[in-house]
Copies of this chain bind each other. A is one copy, B any other.
Amino acid sequence: MLRMSKLADYGALVMAFLAKSDRMLNATEISSEINVASPTVAKLLKLLTRGELLVSHRGVNGGYSLARGADDISVADIIDVIEGPIALTECVSQPGSCVQESDCSLRENWQVINDAMRKALSEVSVSDLAGGRSHSVNLDANGSLEKATGGCC
């Protein structure tokens, strides 16, 4: 179905929520706020921390906060960390795994499509998801991704 995993979906939700709240939050708080089961959120937070998108603080009053500005974290970053590198086809991520071997005329084009997708995902930041920059992301007439000031939300 060409769909992200739910984990990545929830991951975006977690990141957006942290961007909005702008203070350190622990796993329990985040879980109850975004309506996702607490062990699942805990798992996500660990992944996002290991991927250096979040920083964690142990101990009493510990929790998680964004590792850098919400503008500097893209949806592509989140997917990379949770699902691994974006790779539409196997041959893009694992050269040599395909029986078509050397003379596959498709592979180069898959790579291009892959790059275009990655670019689309890189254009949208956590800040956009959180709606924190008082604009929404729009697709202009040419199909390229642009930021439109004065959008909705």
A108-149 residues at the B interface, CB under 8 angstroms: 108-109, 112-113, 115-117, 119-121, 123-124, 128-131, 136-139, 142-145
Choose among B79, B89, B129 the residue that contacts A9 (Cβ–Cβ < 8 A). B89
Give the chain B neighbours of A124 by CB distance below 8 A. 109, 112-113
Q: Is A4 engaged at the interface, CB distance under 8 Å to the other chain?
A: yes
CB proximity of A26 to chain B, nearest CB, Å: 21
- Most B Cβ at <10 Å: residue of A84, A88, A137: A88
A75 to B82 Cα, complex, angstroms = 26
CB proximity of A104 to chain B, nearest CB, Å: 8
State the A residues within 8 Å of B (CB): 1-4, 6, 8-9, 12-13, 16, 34-35, 75, 79, 83-90, 93, 99-100, 105-106, 108-109, 112-113, 115-117, 119-121, 123-124, 128-131, 136-139, 142-145, 152-153
Would you mind naming 25 contact pairs between A and B with Cβ atoms under 8 Å apart? Answer: A1-B84, A1-B87, A2-B2, A2-B4, A2-B83, A2-B88, A3-B88, A3-B90, A9-B90, A12-B106, A35-B100, A75-B113, A105-B129, A108-B136, A109-B137, A112-B124, A112-B137, A112-B138, A113-B120, A113-B124, A115-B139, A116-B120, A117-B117, A117-B120, A117-B121
